Structure 1
Amino acid sequence: MATRRPVKTEKDSIKSEDVPSNPVSVAAANKNVTAASAVPRSVLVKLLMFTFAMIVFPLSSYFLTINTIFKDRSSSSTLAAATAAVVANIVLIGYIIVAANEDDTDGKDHERKSQ
């Protein structure tokens, strides 16, 4: 015969969490979380630069090629779109290379500090 088990509600899960009752300790706990999860400024700058490049370079290459290089062809929009796709892939590959090099340098720095 099946037994009936109590279902845990959202209120029960909130009550069971370890939440300090003192507001000062809550602020201190939040401060530790944000300090530990902070991202270096250089990483954010690189991310924003590549985000900008991922938007601007493919769009500009599309309109540049459709109006100049492939102007007289019947399939100009298809060729311009293919050019934009290639440029987007180049930007993406560049981001991957930069991220991989940054990851290697962080590991080497950590190894030097531990020695």
Structure 2
Amino acid sequence: MSSRRIISSEKTILEKDDAVGASPAASQQSNIAPAVPADVIIKLLAFTFAMIIIPIGSYFASVNTIFKGNSTFAGALAAVMANAVLIGYVIVAMREDQSDREAQGKKTDTKKDR
């Protein structure tokens, strides 16, 4: 069996891979944009914080002041407040999705006009 000798003027496989255009991956520009926009992460963190603080805070604020020690009603109020935060998150997410669709529609409309 014979082996192929590399001539000094030839590039090795590894050197060819480093060159731009040598492979499809090498010719593509890298996209370093974040997968999730920062405003989405901020909204998620805000609603997470609200989901923890509002129900617990409403329970302890109402158990002795509004409901005079009745923890059942205070617990029910905390559950209602947790659902209110959840509904608020769903509404914000739906509005954001609608605004994204409208922005995409405007982009396609401007491309059609050209």
Q: TM-score, normalised by structure 2?
A: 0.66
Amino acid of the residue matched to residue 84 of structure 2?
I
Alignment of 1:39-58 (within 5 A): 39-58=36-55
Measured in 2, the distance between the counterparts of 1:69 and 1:106 equals 43
**Counterpart among 91, 94, 98 of residue 97 in structure 1:** 91
Residues 2-81 of structure 1 aligned to structure 2 (within 5 Å): 32=31, 35=33, 38-72=35-69, 76-81=70-75
* Partner in structure 1 of residue 6 of structure 2: none
Aligned residue for 1:69, secondary structure, equals coil
Please give the per-residue CA displacement for 1:2-50, whole angstroms capped at 9, x wherever unaligned: xxxxxxxxxxxxxxxxxxx979x9xx89x65x64x61011101110110
Q: Give the fraction of aligned pairs with identical amino acids, expressed as a percent.
A: 55
Q: Alignment RMSD, CA only?
A: 2.5
Higher relative CO (Cα under 8 Å, sequence separation at least 6) belongs to 1
Higher helix share: 1
Aligned residues: 86
Deviation at 1:111, TM superposition (A): 0.8
- Residue segments in structure 2 that go unaligned for 5+ positions in a row: 1-13, 110-114
Partners of 2:68 and 2:57 in 1: how far apart?
A: 15
1:9 equivalent in structure 2: none
Structure 1 residue ranges, 4+ long, deviating more than 4 angstroms after superposition? none
